[in-house]
Structure 1
Amino acid sequence: MSDQHVSDPRDPSPYDALLLLSFGGPEGPEDVVPFLENVTRGRGIPKERLKEVGQHYFLFGGVSPINDQCRELLTALREDFAAAGLDLPVYWGNRNWTPYLTDTLREMVRDGRRRIAVLATSAYASYSGCRQYRENLADALAALEAEGLPLPKVDKLRHYFNHPGFVEPMTEGVLRSLAELDEPVRAGAHLAFTTHSIPDSAADTSGPVEDHGRGGAYVKQHLDVARLVAEAVRERTGVDHPWQLVYQSRSGAPHVPWLEPDICDHLEELHEAGAPAVVMVPIGFVSDHMEVLYDLDTEATAKAAELGLPVRRSATVGADPRFAAAVRDLLLERAAAERGAAVERCALGALGASHDLCPVGCCPARTERPAAAGADSPYA
């Protein structure tokens, strides 16, 4: 799949490294509050409140699965690159926990890396899923600059929500979950496609300026993926399962409008409407991290049990080899484009491939801050 999109399927130039950039998470009870302090820095949230918020983590021994899942993806990427004959080192840095992004970039620079492609573990356009990572990159570069280190050029790879290597593993996850349901309820099962709720204002201004409006690019992209998966399931099973995009993991002040409906409210509505079963499909998440483990596997599953509604949760892509191959595809595609070669970009659905370079006004922050790897980057 990857080799047909670039002139030389093993040439990563001008890049000399790939950086896997993720959110990070605590790896023990003693890490939970410091991690949440990192996440909420600048908001003035008292430590006692953070301990309350951290109960989700304490239920799982204070350990978020996201770091181990990044390690698995890191291994999968290195194995895929080696098997494809792609000689490119892969590093890993986090926004909110070790290994911290600044530390990783410092290591990369000391290793002689000067042109770095960046894969963020967020597939869609939004402030928290794209621009905030770009702000983190700018902060890290500023720190290196203050230390007198040479600055690498960093390029964030495009959004990959509609790449086949992201969509196909999710589709198979839905098929497996449907097969786990008892046959009498399987054909009538509803598909509840879930993603992280964000404030309406953030959704409305997600993506480039031309996509701004009700729901913005964030909702539009999720709906396109949900439609792709639902259609693929219908093609493979012959059953047209009803589906809806719903939201989870809301936080913040109750008076601020966030994207709705919530998954638990949706389960209640489906039960009242007589739905025989539900498959929850976390299309908004790359891996089974805490929002998936708690909000879906714990909270939503308990709500379904209370209702007597059969429910299953399908898998995220995680370290699926097809996703690792998709990352290679994205990297080589961007490398070829940077070399000036004509590139056929791989994307499913109605929206086509996303932009390489985030334009000015894309996913704006409430308070303007420098952001790297975009048209408005202070670091050329």
Structure 2
Amino acid sequence: MAAVNLGRKPNPATDAPLEPGALVSAATPAAQSGPEHVEEPVAYDAILLASFGGPEGQDDVIPFLRNVTRGRGIPEERLEEVAHHYRAFGGVSPINDQNRELKAALEARLAERGIDLPVLWGNRNWDPYLNDALSEARDAGYTKLIALATSAYSSYSSCRQYREDFADALEDTGLIGSIQIDKVRQYFDHPGFVTPFIEGLRGALEELRAAVPDIDLETQAEVLFATHSIPSTDAAKSGPGERGFDGNGAYAAQHLAVAEVVMHEATGGTTVPWQLVYQSRSGPPSMPWLEPDVNDAIKGLAERGVRAVIVVPLGFVSDHMEVLWDLDREAKETAEEHGLHFQRIPTPGVHTEYVDGLIDLVLERVNGTPTAERPAMTDLGPWYDVCRPGCCENVRLGFKPAIAGLKP
């Protein structure tokens, strides 16, 4: 077995070898042949809750950012520019505490539902790392894991990079061939993820009517569905090419489809204008990223005479740093500077529908639920259990070893 260095980000994997006759690396037998949807029951030993991770003190901030940007040649001065977001919160990202809450909520609900599956937790970029979680699984004798990533959409950073990091952790711990990891489907349109946004927007519209009684929602208010911007090249490669998405790929298409559902369900027939906006871009100005930026969109609303804006953080599962800083601070300040009433609805967090929805996604694979019986609130889903060949390529870095999908 390879030497295991716990408490640090795993080294990049050099390979993700296939079992004899398999088409999907490190997969359970039910998924090894690469079906779009696995309809064969699998007796998993544990759930692997996989997240981004975040610093938990001032001394952690720069090492954490180095982990996040490893291999990209980002200069230290640029890291310092980003670091002030974390330093403003004492160097502590809220994401780890949010994952602790989610893990506890999953464990409690699993017990209430009589489901005997322990929950392991590992991060991509900070302690506890994914190799720590896999070592915990090995020590407990768990060999079949079903992964829940805290990311609902299809793109390199929100899906394939998780699959690469699983491969990194397996190689780093010497557990390739000993532990199998499947991953639940991207759940952007699962009711458990979408319902909290519907409830949140419905409540925000009621609050807006009360706060600004004379407002005309159809001409003086707008809903901004906000998500993390990604490079345009990554967006174009998100999702399987054969699905025929436009130049912004599955990533934008999924968000737009979910936003339409949320608007339809939350507004009760009221025609409130809305648009999809992006935030948190971090690339150089020379690299195109998805637009419009949320702050630019807010400025444009003010110029059109809009009086109020409701921000729906549709791309996020919890109130982590990008929500607290980029929306609650920067976007809110932009709205106030331009005289707009500002509201931001909650993320799913540990909403009961979201927690139950994640468990239901696991049970789809435990029970081998037929595709026709799987819930999806848009015409795009239910999404794939096994990622398709070439899905969500990182054009700048190329294809790295990954699991839970067909090569490359």
Superposition TM-score, scaled by structure 1 size? 0.91
1:205 pairs with one of 237, 242, 246: 237
Aligned equivalent of 2:71? 42
Q: Partner of 1:48: helix, strand, or coil?
A: helix
Alignment of 1:17 onto 2:46? yes
Q: Partner of 2:224: helix, strand, or coil?
A: strand
Aligned equivalent of 1:319? 350
Aligned equivalent of 2:24? none
For residues 343 and 243 of structure 1, the distance between their equivalents in structure 2, rounded to whole angstroms, comes to: 31
Change (3 A) 1:43 1:341: closer
The 5-angstrom pairing of residues 331-342 of structure 1 reads: 331-337=362-368
Match for 1:184: what amino acid?
D
Change (3 A) 1:150 1:137: same
Aligned equivalent of 2:226? 194
Q: Partner of 2:215: helix, strand, or coil?
A: helix
1:168 pairs with one of 186, 195, 212: 195
Aligned equivalent of 1:74? 103
Checking the alignment, whether the CA contact within 8 Å between 2:295 and 2:334 is kept in structure 1 is yes
- Aligned-pair CA distance for 1:180: 2.6
- Aligned-pair CA distance for 1:342: 6.9
Match for 1:85: what amino acid?
G
Match for 1:276: what amino acid?
R
Alignment of 1:349 onto 2:349? no
For residues 341 and 43 of structure 1, the distance between their equivalents in structure 2, rounded to whole angstroms, comes to: 41
1:233 pairs with one of 254, 257, 266: 266
Aligned equivalent of 2:332? 301
| Contiguous gaps of at least 5 residues in structure 1 | 1-10
- Aligned-pair CA distance for 1:48: 3.3
Checking the alignment, whether the CA contact within 8 Å between 2:49 and 2:149 is kept in structure 1 is yes
- Aligned-pair CA distance for 1:109: 1.3
For residues 239 and 391 of structure 2, the distance between their equivalents in structure 1, rounded to whole angstroms, comes to: 5
Change (3 A) 1:87 1:301: same
Checking the alignment, whether the CA contact within 8 Å between 1:336 and 1:343 is kept in structure 2 is no
Alignment of 1:85 onto 2:114? yes
- Aligned-pair CA distance for 1:335: 1.9
Residues 259-268 or 36-45, more deviating: 36-45
Change (3 A) 1:186 1:100: farther
Q: Partner of 2:153: helix, strand, or coil?
A: coil
- Aligned-pair CA distance for 1:257: 0.8
Alignment of 1:27 onto 2:60? no
Aligned equivalent of 1:159? 186
Residues 210-219 or 111-120, more deviating: 210-219
- Aligned-pair CA distance for 1:341: 6.2
- Aligned-pair CA distance for 1:177: 2.0
For residues 300 and 287 of structure 2, the distance between their equivalents in structure 1, rounded to whole angstroms, comes to: 23
Match for 2:236: what amino acid?
D
Checking the alignment, whether the CA contact within 8 Å between 2:42 and 2:365 is kept in structure 1 is no
Aligned equivalent of 1:328? 359
Deviations 1:297-322 (A, max 9, x none): 00010001100110100110011111
Q: Partner of 1:257: helix, strand, or coil?
A: coil
- Aligned-pair CA distance for 1:372: 0.9
Residues 39-48 or 62-71, more deviating: 39-48
CA RMSD in angstroms, aligned pairs only: 1.7
1:260 pairs with one of 291, 304, 319: 291
Alignment of 1:60 onto 2:89? yes
For residues 228 and 371 of structure 2, the distance between their equivalents in structure 1, rounded to whole angstroms, comes to: 35
Q: Partner of 1:193: helix, strand, or coil?
A: strand
Checking the alignment, whether the CA contact within 8 Å between 2:152 and 2:315 is kept in structure 1 is yes
- Aligned-pair CA distance for 1:365: 2.4
For residues 71 and 273 of structure 1, the distance between their equivalents in structure 2, rounded to whole angstroms, comes to: 43
- Aligned-pair CA distance for 1:349: 1.8
For residues 280 and 88 of structure 2, the distance between their equivalents in structure 1, rounded to whole angstroms, comes to: 16
- Aligned-pair CA distance for 1:328: 1.1
For residues 343 and 267 of structure 1, the distance between their equivalents in structure 2, rounded to whole angstroms, comes to: 41
Checking the alignment, whether the CA contact within 8 Å between 1:109 and 1:150 is kept in structure 2 is no
Q: Partner of 2:65: helix, strand, or coil?
A: helix
Aligned equivalent of 2:29? none
| Contiguous gaps of at least 5 residues in structure 2 | 1-39
Alignment length (residue pairs): 361
Change (3 A) 1:359 1:149: closer
Checking the alignment, whether the CA contact within 8 Å between 2:202 and 2:267 is kept in structure 1 is no
Checking the alignment, whether the CA contact within 8 Å between 1:186 and 1:277 is kept in structure 2 is no
2:214 pairs with one of 173, 181, 184: 184
Q: Percent identity?
A: 53
For residues 224 and 341 of structure 1, the distance between their equivalents in structure 2, rounded to whole angstroms, comes to: 23
- Aligned-pair CA distance for 1:179: 2.6
- Aligned-pair CA distance for 1:44: 2.5
